[in-house]
Structure 1
Amino acid sequence: MKKTILFCLSVFLFPITLLSQNVVNISFDTTAVKYSKANKDQIIPIKLKIDSIVVDTLDNYLISIEVDKANSTLSNSEYDFFYRKTQLSKLNEEETTYLTLKKDTLPDRDRKIILDIKFYKNDTSRKIAEIANIGICKKLTITVAPLVEPELKGYEYLAYIGTNFDLVDGIQAKDLFFAANIFSSPERTKKKKVGFYLSLYGNRAISQVDSSLILDRVIAIDSLTENSFRVVREKRTVRSSQSTDNLGAYISPLIKLKCLNTPSSELKLYYSPSLEFVYRRTRGSIGDFVGTPKLDSITVTGNINDFPERIQRLPEPRSFSLNEYSFNLGAVGLFLNLENKRISVRVHGSVGYASNYFASFDRGLDNPPSLRNESDVFFTGRAWITEPTSGITLQAEVTNSLINSRPFFVATLSKAIDFKNLGSIFSPITSR
């Protein structure tokens, strides 16, 4: 009986106690959320639920949402958040404010922003008020995960953006490389017999440096006697260099070889004749002298006026820029393809007829290079290796001619992008 009376008294007196203690029921709609960084700013809504407010005078108190900087791990420079202190009397049943998560593409680990609900006295706006908040979600933890690059959905339609490697100048990334490859295997066609491979590309071949030319010239002829004179000769090593930018279009049908392919194998081999057009712009210099000149003098008996050679001046170094074109028709070609969830490897070799319009330096150092058109037999070998998670792609290429040997070597490092995501590269433009 006594326990029953005490229980009834406690139930009766509890609301009176709450009234005297300034009690509110205000909380976030959840205790934790998670977002991932993106390549653009994100606006995150922060919602407050106001279930009940029991205080002596509503106008005497302010509510604030603040970042717990002591426990938050995300840098202040990576987000924007501000909530103006608001009187309790002006609150609605549901309040919404916003946090801006700034764009970022750098790799990182998970970071956190912790938000707290706090109350202040209206007279100073600085003194924390003694208000009991019985809300369930009084803290909000926002977990910010690093940007996750989407994996390649497939290897059929890819664009590549990257750089060339010029091994002559050292292992360093140089100049822009781009390509767009479309690969339609015979297995994806209706009859599963013939597919095609299309490639549009722009790259720079590894620089070619030649130091085999020796300049031998007379620098002095001195008379010694009436019947003798001295001839002084100088030998210098002449260096010429050239680099070539290639812009090409390449297409090849892929014809399935039944005798070498099995349905269960990831490795496929196709017969692939090809057609390719390449525009090349070659820039270079000739006449750069390297090393220490070597001097040699001889005494000649005879009349100095009868000596056939005269003193030669040192030629000035020259630079040049030439446009070249190649049309390649590959009659014999093989295309090797390996694809799975971990890697894509493509190797293509082609041999056939070439019609080249190119520069020639066969007229010597003192004459400008000439342009000539000749037919030839060409060989081209290409290899592409792509990792799907990062899209990192290594590509190598070698092209040469049989009769007039002019080798071109290309090595590139790039990132493969699905065509549907290609617009993200130009986001600073398209977002305007």
Structure 2
Amino acid sequence: MKWSRKIMAAVLAVASLMGMTSLSGCGSSNNAQEENPKSIKIWHYEEDNGAMGKAWKKAMDIFEKETGVKVEFEKKSFEQIRQTASQVLNSDDAPDVMEYNKGNATAGLLASQGLLSNLNDYVKQYKWDKKISGSLADTGKYNDKGVMGSGDWYGITNYGEDVVMYYNKDMFDKYGVEIPTTMDELETAMQKFKDNGITPLSEGVAEYPLQHLWWQLVLQKADSKFLKAYEMYDGDVDWQGKATTYATNTIKKWVDEGYISKDCTGTKAEDAGQNFIKGTYPMFFSGTWWYGRFQSDIAKNFNWTIGTFPESKKIPGSSGNIWVIPENSKKKDLAAKFINITLSEEVQDLMGNNGGLPIAANADKITDPSNKELVESFSKVVKEDGLGFYPDWPTSTFYDELNSSLQELVNGTSDTKTVLNQMKDNYDKGVEAAGVKN
């Protein structure tokens, strides 16, 4: 996927779809709407037993009942969509609506290339901006260069997410370890597990888990000036400064101490999560998107809990991923109707009762105490402006480049200074190619 911010001059290839009458003329479509549409193609990458997967299934059922239009759903993996979106959306294989990753390097890139539909008219029609505001709205808006946080609406979120520590309480109790609330307590806990022959942290460096841990450590020391420079290109990023140096040194130290296994360089996110589900590791630092799956997949006699990472005022997180409507779609009004259903109270309440973080649920309808606690915890983070976004957002290639640099750190082929210089070079090249800095 090339990192280009030029608006596409050529007319995009129009998908060969069945034909016929828009549901309404209120959409922001540049292409004609089909008349008498018989089906709509939807893509997402949530697991069936997760909170979002259950919610989107419900939304599809409601959509079919209300419209009489059949949903042609295709499950895609996160990596499938991330790696091929630019090519797919500029082809006859594009869906009519899909879940996509938010941020400059993903949704921002596609918006700037003319591959995503401008949703301003639909936002006005459905009053989505009444439900999605503040930092939750930032991830759906992009300017003409694809920079997040201002400009037009290109994506609609309907849930939130942040990254938390998952603790295996049974293992903590077995070895007489307290759930940590400070960094000193965390390292003491990890050492106790190590002394008992147990690697404390379930990690995966092949995908996002370790870069999220690295970013959390950066956020412990970063100030607002650093974050604006890093995420919004407002100033220069100090790559050898205290925040990045502390985070990278800490990861290296934890690998050297045996708190993180050197063998995790090839481990993917799913495997790291499964290792926690199996009870192999006492701790796993990852997103709330796992919460619903852990509720359903972890054995009932396995006690676990969550907590905010110790000594952190900001944590990795944002709105959830966003629903986007490809510009090639000729069923945009139908796609917008589906998005609106995902924001309905019925779907939002279902998500909340299955361990998700809905943004428009009725709190009184969330009956499980732990689910309610999760939702209230996220609301508190949003209220306190505690969302620190994610480290891979600045450029289209930075996700893979961060993973590669951290793999070298973990396997010992590069030291802290070398890794940070590598990150800096990749970051600078990506931002320069994007043309997003004045």
Task: Please report the TM-score for the alignment, with normalisation by the length of structure 2.
Answer: 0.17
By relative contact order (CA 8 Å, sep 6+), the higher-ranking structure is 2
Q: TM-score, normalised by structure 1?
A: 0.17
Instruction: Judging by fraction of residues, say which structure has more strand.
Output: 1
Give the helix-richer structure, 1 or 2.
Answer: 2
